[in-house]
């Protein structure tokens, strides 16, 4: 299984939250691949203190990274539009993450499932803080 880690999971892991780190370790030991989106990198760096950069960079570069392609961007825009028509307020960033998971057939691991009200998404149980 290939798992796309949402920013919430990345932050929990970087902050040393043991339950999250244990879940990631179990996935790796089970032969699963951990992945991120280039968008996640931007989100993590937007809240990172300069002294945290070496550890953060080492962690993120160990994960397979998917870029935000034109097709992912189009899908994200359509998803956001459709959700807003159904009364859901979703961020474009979350829809880019969701679209990355859908485009590459990844399972999404997040601590905020309510940000992703999409029936077609598959989730890995995330550990909430």
What's the total number of domains in the chain?
1
The answer to whether residue 129 is domain-embedded is no
The answer to whether residue 49 is domain-embedded is yes
pLDDT at 108: 97
Q: At 33, give phi and psi (nearest 5°).
A: -100, 135
pLDDT, tens digit, for every residue of 77-115? 999 999 999 999 999 999 999 999 999 999 999 999 999
Indicate the pLDDT class of residue 127, thresholds 50, 70 and 90.
Answer: very low
Q: What's the gap between Cα 11 and its chain centre?
A: 10
Indicate the pLDDT class of residue 125, thresholds 50, 70 and 90.
Answer: confident
Q: What is the mean pLDDT of residues 43-52?
A: 95
The answer to whether residue 119 is domain-embedded is yes
Q: Where are the beta strands (DSSP E) in 67-117?
A: 107-109
Return the percent helix, strand and coil in the chain, to nearest 5.
55, 15, 30
User: CATH no. for residue 40?
Assistant: 3.40.50.1010
Indicate the pLDDT class of residue 129, thresholds 50, 70 and 90.
Answer: very low
What does DSSP assign to residue 111? S
Least confident of 42-51, 78-87, 118-127: 118-127
Tally: H helices and E strands in the chain: 6, 5
pLDDT, tens digit, for every residue of 3-31? 999 999 999 999 999 999 999 999 999 99
What does DSSP assign to residue 28? H
pTM confidence score: 0.92
* pLDDT at 40 > cutoff 80: yes
Query: Which residue range is the domain that position 102 belongs to?
Result: 2-123
């Amino acid at each position: 299984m290939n798992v796309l880690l949402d920013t919430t999971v990345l932050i929990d892991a970087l902050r040393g939250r043991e339950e999250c780190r244990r879940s990631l370790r179990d996935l790796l030991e089970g032969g699963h691949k951990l992945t991120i989106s280039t968008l996640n990198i931007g989100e993590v760096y937007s809240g990172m203190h300069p002294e945290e950069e070496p550890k953060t960079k080492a962690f993120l570069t160990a994960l397979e990274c998917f870029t935000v392609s034109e097709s992912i961007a189009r899908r994200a825009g359509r998803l956001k539009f459709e959700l807003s028509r159904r009364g859901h307020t979703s961020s474009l960033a979350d829809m880019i993450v969701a679209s990355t998971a859908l485009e590459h057939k990844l399972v999404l691991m997040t601590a905020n499932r309510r940000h992703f009200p999409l029936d077609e998404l598959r989730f890995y149980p995330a550990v909430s803080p």
